[in-house]
Chain A
Amino acid sequence: MNTYEPVIGLEIHVELKTKSGMFCGCPADHFAKKPNTGTCPVCLGLPGALPVPNKKAVEWTIMLGLALGGTIAEVSKFDRKHYFYPDLPKGYQISQYDQPLCRGGKVSTSFGDVRIHRVHLEEDTGKLQHATVAGKKVTLVDFNRSGVPLVEIVTEADIHSSEQAKEFLKKLHQIVRYLGISDADMEKGSMRLEPNISIRKVGETGLPNYKVEVKNINSFRFAAAAIDYEVKRHTVILESGKVPAQETRGWDEAKNATVSQRSKEEAADYRYFPEPDIPPLRFTKEYIDTIKANMPQLPDAYKKEIKEKHGLNDNQAKVLSEDFGKMKLFKDTVSLPSVSQANISGATVANWIINKVPDTSGVTPTYLADQIIKSKQVTQVDDSVLVSAIDQVIAENPKAVADFKAGKEQSKMFLYGNVLKRLAGKGDKQKVMELLVGKL
């Protein structure tokens, strides 16, 4: 049996959390709204309705492109991508074809760099839902999501394992969250994943002559599972002397397997052409520089900062920076006046978050600070308690005291250990040492 290596590229769709739509003034927040209550002529695709692009969405996409280290197009444009589906009201999606806002860039993973092919901006579709109405199986259509700004990030086929895919996705997820351009909430579908998977014999370098696209996966875990499933499936097919079919598959959660959706041979011919309703976009260097200058700090930069400013160790900084929620909680907590007044160190806050806050949602900085301060108060004991413990130990161990005075440094640690034993874990250890040395 041959040994194979997966060759994986990812397409990721991220809904931007702008106030309004990509091409109209309808609310972009469509989650859990009554059906068809947030539509207008544009996103409902009425005759004669024309799109006008959202400035912020363009700006944010450029920002993401910059954050990924890509090159922003000097001239960009929108194009129409045609296909028929009931959730696509115009019969075409306004997307970007040959002049995306951004090309290139990379995200490094512990398995190697993953290059970014392109980042472009488009509009989301409506939502479909199956139902039985009056005994008939039908599909219900809600256009509230239609026209919500959607960024598509396409990687090169640089990923070679499900673990690497997962690591890349987690990093990308964090970058998007740090930039504050999307909630990237997988459960709500505001981040959707599509791996393109094929495998080749180890040692080969070219791209395989087929690829399988798995659509609309909504968790990192499922993405990894789908990749593993496909790799196994392809291996069996290739070993039998055949080539896996070029097709689109879906992840079936119940079956824990991918299932065929449509074969790419009959894939739609999208008939792209430049959107005549939207004038082209041209960006000056100054404009790009301004976006760059106003870009929020990214995980790697933040990691460096918290190490230097708050004295965290590598591991603490790594764990915090890998989770936007934890990082934000840390940053907000250490900047509270109550925390600095109580002399609580950054390391203490970091340890609390890392060890005691598995889920940061619902945890406010004030609440966390209160918890830390309270716990400190419990173990905090008056200096007089420390002094009395030290006095007793000195009185009970005259030999050790004499040895210390004669220059035996180990005797100090013996006395110190006895004081701590007597205090039963209470009190500040450093203070104990200071007081003990003073007394001696």
Chain B
Amino acid sequence: MKLNSLTLKATIDKLKAKEISHADLYKDVHDAIAEKNGLLNIYLSLDPTAVTKAEALLDTPLAGAPIAVKDNFLTVGLETTASANVLKGFKPPAESHVTTKLKAAGGVIVGKTNMDAWAHGSSTETSDFGPTKNPRNPEYLPGGSSGGSAAAIAADLAVGALGTETAGSIRQPASWCGVVGLKPTYGRVSRSGVIAMASSTDSPGPIGKTVEDCAILLTHIAGKDPYDATTLPKPVPDYTAHMRDGVKGMRIGICYMDHPQLKGTDVDRAVTKAGKVFEALGATVEVVPLSKTLEKGKILTPDYAIGVYTVVQRSEVSSNLARFDGIRYGNDRSFFAHEALNRIMLGTFTLSKGYADKYYVRAQQVRTLYRQNFAELFGTYDILLASPSPGYALAAGASSGDPLFGELQDMLVEPSSLVGNTGISVPCFTDPKTNLPLGLNIMGDQWQEEKILKAAYAFEQATDWNPWAK
């Protein structure tokens, strides 16, 4: 068995028990990279000294395990570009808070992974450095924007990974690549040193082979950061501690499957079937009906979230990318590629005089309706089930030419992302014809990571969809 196919948990255990060596582990990881990276285009840069760093870390919690990190985390000594030509060659003089914590816990960055440039997208096709392919079927997209990190896990090119999500960017690629991705509550994991996309929704989080791997990584990256005023000073639990507690008595609602776009699809069938699995495990499961207006006991249609998200995200993007003027670092503004241009300019428009009230303020008001809706629903339900994506991975090339491609793909996670809730995607089906998986999106209220991990772990253990979990 190749050591790169181990889970993070098994890697740590075996390293600590001296059953395997860092040298063998990193050799297998690098061999796999050498074999597959040419085709899949997952890593943008690699740290050749990773194994040396790892060897000194045996006594740390992560024991020097190889971790893939999305290229929007600032890393000292490793070029950081957010897959954008504007930042080609940028060597950060400061490290992101999350990778600082990861390293302190004994994680070693193998390399930086490809993404949609600036995290603008849901395909990893908009990278200025070429698209990433889906390891489950290279004819298809890996999803995005954390497509490189999800693909690195799916292809066993690392044992754990970090991504970021604004609306779907962790869960959708995890779903399309058949791995586990957790989007933490906004404010649970620091954004400092992460190249900002949409400041009011960006959430760094783990992508792993199993629910347990994600719980381990989250435990080590979460927490208050004095350099991010939006992080909560709440103590960070050991997220693996209650993971095995089971779902008996849990109140679960199923959402969005009655949406016209989903009704009767494989996604509908897989999510509904997942509901049955939870029922069998002792949870109470019921369907939460879709509603066009804010109504008690119903879930507000995700249709409006596209508009809200488009306005909020474009506006914040136009602001966050204003600093890239080529004076202090990087190339000048003429280097922005089409998708970034598109978003910067639309956001410039939605914030401009005479339009800000009509678009930006209104979008933030509709955002309040989603908050009220989720607050009410989470009074009734512990968790909500849905899908991170309306369907399977799409074929390579599908994203081009559609200015709203990402928004339509991420429609089902946009409402909960806009209100800052947490969610995790776990494999819940595989199409035998294409080998393409589907994910189950388990959503929880703000700060309820322990609840969604409990449900995700129970589901993973009760089903056969995740081969690493066996």
Q: Which residues of A contact B (CB under 8 A)?
A: 40-42, 44-53, 80, 82, 84, 86, 89-92, 141, 143, 269, 271-273, 276-279
Contacts and interface: CB of A to CB of B under 8 A. Distances in A.
B87 A47 contact: yes
A345 to B, nearest CB: 54
A194 B85 CA distance: 41
B142 to A, nearest CB: 24
A271 B226 contact: no
B325 A49 contact: no
Contact of A271 (B72, B321, B329, B348): B348
A53 B229 contact: yes
A45 B328 contact: yes
A93 to B, nearest CB: 11
Nearest to A141: B327
A342 to B, nearest CB: 54
A239 B85 CA distance: 57
20 contacts: A40-B94, A41-B193, A45-B323, A46-B329, A47-B87, A47-B195, A47-B324, A47-B329, A48-B96, A48-B193, A48-B196, A49-B193, A52-B228, A53-B229, A86-B325, A91-B321, A91-B322, A271-B348, A273-B351, A276-B199
Given A271-B348, A273-B356, A276-B199, A48 B323 contact: no
Interface string B320-341: 0111110111000000000000
A143 B348 CA distance: 26
A50 B94 contact: no
Contact of B192 (A44, A48, A89, A91): A48
Interface of B: 72, 74, 80, 82, 87, 90, 92-94, 96, 191-196, 199-200, 226-230, 315-316, 318-319, 321-325, 327-329, 348, 351-353, 356, 360
B112 to A, nearest CB: 14
Contacts of B199: 276-277
Contacts of A90: 322-323
Among A48, A273, A277, find the residue whose CB has the most chain B CB atoms closer than 10 A: A48
A92 B319 contact: yes
A82 B316 contact: no
Contact of A47 (B200, B315, B319, B323): B323
Among A90, A276, A278, find the residue whose CB has the most chain B CB atoms closer than 10 A: A276
A271 B353 CA distance: 7
Contacts of B94: 40-41, 46, 49
Contacts of A46: 74, 92-94, 328-329
Given A44-B328, A47-B196, A269-B352, A279 B322 contact: no
A141 B348 CA distance: 26
A325 to B, nearest CB: 39
A86 B93 CA distance: 21
Nearest to A87: B327
B319 A86 contact: no
A92 B315 CA distance: 13
Nearest to A85: B325
B328 to A, nearest CB: 6
B229 A50 contact: yes
B191 A276 contact: no
A72 B92 CA distance: 41
Contacts of B192: 48-50
B351 to A, nearest CB: 4
A273 B319 contact: yes
Given A48-B196, A91-B323, A276-B199, A271 B96 contact: no
A276 B229 contact: no
B229 A47 contact: no
B292 to A, nearest CB: 28
A30 to B, nearest CB: 17
A406 B149 CA distance: 117
Nearest to A45: B323
A52 B227 contact: yes
A23 B184 CA distance: 26
Contacts of B229: 50-53, 277-279
B323 A89 contact: yes
B319 A48 contact: no
Contacts of A50: 191-192, 227-230
Contacts of A41: 93-94, 193
Contacts of B80: 47
Contacts of B348: 271
A90 B96 CA distance: 18
Contact of B319 (A49, A82, A141, A279): A82
A90 B315 CA distance: 15
Nearest to B316: A276
Nearest to A90: B323
A48 B316 contact: no
A278 B227 CA distance: 11
Contacts of B329: 46-47
Contacts of B325: 84, 86, 91
Contact of B230 (A47, A48, A49, A277): A277
Nearest to B349: A271
A44 B323 CA distance: 10
A82 B353 contact: no
A206 B96 CA distance: 55
Given A84-B322, A273-B315, A278-B229, A48 B327 contact: no
Ranked nearest first, the 7 interchain pairs of A and B with the lowest CB-CB distance are A91-B322, A271-B351, A276-B199, A276-B200, A47-B195, A48-B193, A90-B323
A80 B319 contact: yes
Contacts of B92: 46-47
Among B90, B192, B321, B328, find the residue whose CB has the most chain A CB atoms closer than 10 A: B328
A269 B355 CA distance: 11
A58 to B, nearest CB: 13
A276 B328 CA distance: 24
A262 B265 CA distance: 60
Contacts of A277: 199, 228-230
A300 B389 CA distance: 68
Contacts of B74: 46-48
Contacts of B93: 41, 46
Contacts of A44: 328
